[in-house]
């Protein structure tokens, strides 16, 4: 299904400039933007993936990862193909890079927003997650799903690279309850070489989503030899702290994938070091992800140290939070979206 796109302007000779993400693609008639799923048709920009889902799953919300968002609940996760990044280490490249790898082909089974919301409700999900690929590139469909979900009492979650224009962020924020954004590195050179993108717009989006009141968590995939130096990890932690020290930071382990097969998996020790760096920089909540049982998964009160949420992987073993997300021992308010 095709849908006229948001955020574009028409210029001479039927060319258009896409304003969805900071790439700002100039697209001539018959051509597509860098995401490969937004096409200029006779001077109008169309999304080619409206409702064309290639993934539908019921996930624990902790898998996003979101640790301070309705813990223990399930979220209905969806995606189309396409992405505005070209990450060499993408762990979902079969989805994100599908049009690039299949001569522009766009796959997926057509759905309406109503069907997505009904599937979420039928599976006892408390939220819908727009995830797997980059949800910004199917912004129009996500937007319509978000509106309907919100009207029916469901929460909306983006799992994103954060590469959106301020206009796109501002239109989305009133419909969004939570977002996890990757900070892939604190080097612009990394973003350019590894992702074919830029760092600063991601940092700007993080600050703006927080300013607009969307619950925010940040993830960094720790890649040996690329972004794992103590200095760089300190820079990331300091930036997060400058926005809000209560923002949870997930430091996750890398596994060789796609075009980055020359690096070893992240060691447990490297994740522990990264977590310690975040805590040392004053972040209240730093989690060592995707290595269950190695510690660093549980939530403690930053004021008194009481363990509040005991986790193993994506499971909540014990939840001691008091009503409204407060520590039962000292009464401190814990940032998040709680039942």
pLDDT tens, residue by residue, 25-54? 999 999 999 999 999 999 999 999 999 999
pLDDT at 294: 62
pLDDT at 87: 97
DSSP per-residue letters across 212-251:
TT-EEEEEEEE-TTTS--HHHHHHHHHHHHHH-TTS-EEE
pLDDT at 290: 74
Q: Is the pLDDT of residue 293 over 80?
A: no
Which residues 6+ apart lie within 8 Å of 106 measured at CB? 37, 48, 49, 52, 81, 82, 98, 99
pLDDT at 313: 84
pLDDT digits (tens, 9 = 90+) for 88-108: 999 999 999 999 999 999 999
Q: Is the pLDDT of residue 292 over 80?
A: no
Report the percent of the chain where pLDDT is more than 90: 95
Q: Three-state secondary structure along 241-282?
A: HHHCCCCCEEEEECCCECCECCCCCCCHHHHHHHHHHHHHCC
pLDDT at 27: 98
Burial 16-27 (b: 16+ CB within 10 A, else e): bebbbbbbebeb
Residue 155 · residue 337 · CB < 8 Å: yes
For 287, the token pair is 């989690």
Which residues 6+ apart lie within 8 Å of 269 measured at CB? none
> Average pLDDT over the chain, rounded to whole?
96
Q: Is the pLDDT of residue 295 over 70?
A: no
Confidence at 200, pLDDT banded by 50, 70, 90:
very high
Give the residues across from 9 on adjacent strands.
17
Only one residue has tokens 């223990």, namely: 72
Residue 31 · residue 21 · CB < 8 Å: no
């Amino acid at each position: 299904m095709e849908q006229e796109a948001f955020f574009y302007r028409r210029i001479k000779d039927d060319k258009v400039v896409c304003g969805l993400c900071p790439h700002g693609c100039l697209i001539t008639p018959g051509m597509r933007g860098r995401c490969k799923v937004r096409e200029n048709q006779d001077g109008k920009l169309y999304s080619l993936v409206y409702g064309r889902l290639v993934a539908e799953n019921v996930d624990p919300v902790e898998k996003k990862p979101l640790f301070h968002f309705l813990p223990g609940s399930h979220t209905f996760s969806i995606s189309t193909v396409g992405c505005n990044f070209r990450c060499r280490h993408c762990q979902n490249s079969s989805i994100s890079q599908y049009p690039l790898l299949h001569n522009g082909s766009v796959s997926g089974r057509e759905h309406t927003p109503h069907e997505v919301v009904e599937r979420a409700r039928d599976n006892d999900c408390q939220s819908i997650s727009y995830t797997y690929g980059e949800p910004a590139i199917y912004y129009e469909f996500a937007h319509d799903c978000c509106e309907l979900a919100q009207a029916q009492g469901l929460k909306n979650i983006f799992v994103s690279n954060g590469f959106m224009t301020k206009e796109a962020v501002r239109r989305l924020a009133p419909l969004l309850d939570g977002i996890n954004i990757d900070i892939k590195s604190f080097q612009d050179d990394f973003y350019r070489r590894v992702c074919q993108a830029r760092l600063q717009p991601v940092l700007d989006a993080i600050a703006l989503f927080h300013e607009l009141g969307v619950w925010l968590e940040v993830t960094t995939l720790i890649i040996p030899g690329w972004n794992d130096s103590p200095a760089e990890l300190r820079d990331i932690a300091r930036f997060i702290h400058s926005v809000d020290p209560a923002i949870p930071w997930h430091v996750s382990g890398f596994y060789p994938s796609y075009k980055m097969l020359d690096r070893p998996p992240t060691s447990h020790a490297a994740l522990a070091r990264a977590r310690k760096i975040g805590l040392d920089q004053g972040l209240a909540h730093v989690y060592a992800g995707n290595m269950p049982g190695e510690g660093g998964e549980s939530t403690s009160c930053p004021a008194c140290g009481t363990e509040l949420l005991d986790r193993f992987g994506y499971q909540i073993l014990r939840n001691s939070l008091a009503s409204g997300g407060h520590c039962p021992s000292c009464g401190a308010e814990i940032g998040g979206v709680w039942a």
